[in-house]
Structure 1
Amino acid sequence: MKLAFRFATILLVLGAVLTGAQESPKYLHISTNPSYAEAYVGSMRARIASNPDVDLPGFIKVPAGESSILVTIFKPGYKDTSIAVTLSQADTSYLIVSLTPSYDDEHLQYQQKALMHRSRRNIGHKLIAISAVPLIASGITALIASNEIDEANSKKDIIEKSLIREGKEYEANQESFKDHRKNANTSRNIAIGTLVAGGIFLGCGIVLSF
């Protein structure tokens, strides 16, 4: 009897665990009046200098098992609105928030400065991403330059060790040496130029991203 009871208890626990593991996340749809705002999830204060978690109107994904969520809504020219939302039993909950205009000059100035800061940070992140292109190009052309230098040195050794210093083969080796040396110099200059350009993009991006 005790064994059967324990077995039943284990089955119930396993069932509860499996049910919890299979529980689907819920969604909260928020729209505002006036429309088009930004939502920051899990914070009592809008981190305006950072990009929003969700652009409104839009859906916010709520982790499985959570019954409430804290959202702060931001729109330029309006007061920040923080709401602790208790979700319904349905898979998707809907919320409409009326925003209140702000007439506080200090608060409005803070919003504008924070938005400018965000804009600079976004530009910085884009410059960092863009810097990858010339830096990769620099690495590739540096490898090409190294290969051309090796080829030029190889032809140079052949020319210097050649006992016959005339004829088509000798002249072909000379021309090949000149071509490889020219290609090496061109590739090296490109590698340096793209490295400098990539460094400038990367440096400016890092500075602006803070």
Structure 2
Amino acid sequence: VLLYETFSESILLSLNVIQRSKNILTHLKVPPEALILSVVFRVLFNSIFRIAIMLIFSLVLYSTAAEAGQSSFSPLGFLGFLLFFPAMILAGLSIGVFLAPFNIIYSDVGRFVKVTLIPLRYATPVFYAIPTHSDSPVLQTVLNLIHDFNPIAYLLVNLRSLATWGTMTDVPATGICVGLFFILFLIGWLIFHLAIPVLADRA
């Protein structure tokens, strides 16, 4: 849940960054990249508290979970989690930056994104794990399809796996997802950079 909150926050903060910075944009010559950096720093700051909560719970539940064979906390795995964590921020930031200029022109874009993020939470393995064995083949097939066609699912599953088991699953597909989000971020950044001078007065 905390990981998905980071993803949602990255989208919403970057999506509305132009409106929030209207006074700065109209009175000062601020490069568009400064707005994106402000979002990154704010998300990172808020993420410190989320990661601290996750670490505390992992340490508290470590012995009980290890005895049940459900998870095993490892410092090396948690270090990998910290190194891979920015990928989740990149995913949300790429979507938000790409849609931010369109949100100025059509305010319904922001409303649509907010509404979409709610069911998307349940379409990603936030409250459930992808089953390897199930009494219901149909349920297993549906969950696997949702996972396969949801790029956020790969990031969530691997971050959770790193934090609990110290391993990653389906590394090639995860790498492709991160690469696609990076390309989307570059495209969004270019549109954002070119559109800011024109859209600042309309914010």
**TM-score scaled by length of structure 1:** 0.23
Higher normalized contact order (CA 8 Å, seq sep 6+, divided by chain length): 2
- Greater Rg by CA: 1
When you count strand as a share of all residues, which structure comes out higher? 1
When you count helix as a share of all residues, which structure comes out higher? 2
